[in-house]
Amino acid sequence: MPRLIPAPARMRGVTRLRAAIALIGLVVVVAVLAGLALLDPFHLRHARWFTAGLVGLLLVLLTALLAVVARRGLLRAMVVLVGVVALLGWGAFVYGASRLTGTNTEVLRVADGGRSLVVLQGTGSTVEPVYAVVLRAGGGPFEQETLVYQGAEGSPPPSLTRFVDAHTVSVETLGGCRYRSTVEDVTLAVDPVFRPLTGRSC
């Protein structure tokens, strides 16, 4: 006679299977979103925090999935322990990376409708200031930001930043250099991005 599986055991097996399928779907969705945040095709200003949060959520979902698949007992406990350690390690990495990122001070803002050209002052590897110009659009967590011009260390700030038209921005320096870039409306991609090697060269 075939061996009969008790009804409670069958129910537990079906429940675990459904939970595993649901978790697999969530893992795929979050992995796609994390990859999209990493590629950042829309140049989101806070893309790194989206990436950090989605990777953390992905670690939680993977741990839950493996814990559901694993049998009860030592194996499941080890899976949960490894997942917690991985999540804590990722959190420590994100915190350390955020501490290494310098702060920028806004020097000037030129607005045009829903977009702005912003001159930022930061500090490079020396005490000399570093100036950059970024293009921003929108607001809130989905605010977009794209680099337009990155000056060399010790170079003076740009003398003029302006919108030439709806698709063109311009940056001028005290040395007489003039840089023009085109802007894509949806992704806010800027082409080209100017990074002069010294403050005396265009």
Cα dihedral 13, 19, 25, 29, rounded to 10, equals -160
Q: Which amino acid is it at 38?
A: L
Domain boundaries, position 182: 105-191
In a domain, 75, yes or no: yes
Q: What is the pLDDT of residue 100?
A: 79
What token pair was written down for 140?
A: 């809130």
CA distance 61 to 53: 12
Q: Domain tally for the chain?
A: 2
Q: Which amino acid is it at 3?
A: R
Span of 10-19, 118-127, 141-150 with lowest mean pLDDT? 10-19
Q: What is the pLDDT of residue 201?
A: 63
- Are residues 13 and 53 located together in one domain of the fold? yes
Cα dihedral 108, 110, 48, 53, rounded to 10, equals 110
CA distance 186 to 179: 22
CA distances from 79 to 21, 24, 60, 94, 113 (A): 18, 16, 11, 23, 52
In a domain, 196, yes or no: no
Of 81, 100, 119, the residue at which a domain comes to its end is 100
Of 54, 83, 100, the residue at which a domain comes to its end is 100
- Are residues 114 and 178 located together in one domain of the fold? yes
- Are residues 77 and 116 located together in one domain of the fold? no
- Are residues 126 and 110 located together in one domain of the fold? yes
Cβ atoms of residues 54 and 33 within 8 Å: yes
Cβ atoms of residues 115 and 108 within 8 Å: no
In a domain, 199, yes or no: no
What token pair was written down for 122?
A: 């930061």
Q: What is the pLDDT of residue 4?
A: 44
Give the pLDDT band of residue 174 (cuts 50, 70, 90). Answer: confident
In a domain, 96, yes or no: yes
Q: Which amino acid is it at 180?
A: R
- Are residues 112 and 180 located together in one domain of the fold? yes
* Four-residue CA torsion sign, 172, 149, 109, 123: negative
- Are residues 79 and 125 located together in one domain of the fold? no
Give the pLDDT band of residue 198 (cuts 50, 70, 90). Answer: low
Q: What is the pLDDT of residue 175?
A: 79
Q: What is the pLDDT of residue 98?
A: 85
CA distance 174 to 118: 17
- Are residues 90 and 14 located together in one domain of the fold? yes
Q: What is the pLDDT of residue 1?
A: 44
Q: What is the pLDDT of residue 38?
A: 94
- Are residues 125 and 56 located together in one domain of the fold? no
pTM: 0.80
Give the pLDDT band of residue 200 (cuts 50, 70, 90). Answer: low
What token pair was written down for 46?
A: 């806070």
Q: What's the pLDDT tens digit per position in 124-150?
A: 555 778 899 999 999 999 999 999 999
CA distances from 96 to 93, 106, 123, 124 (A): 5, 24, 19, 18
CA distance 114 to 188: 12
- Are residues 113 and 87 located together in one domain of the fold? no
Of 78, 100, 122, the residue at which a domain comes to its end is 100
Q: Tell me what the mean pLDDT of segment 14-28 comes to.
A: 89
In a domain, 77, yes or no: yes
Q: Tell me what the mean pLDDT of segment 113-127 comes to.
A: 83
Q: What's the pLDDT tens digit per position in 75-105?
A: 899 999 999 999 999 999 999 988 877 778 8
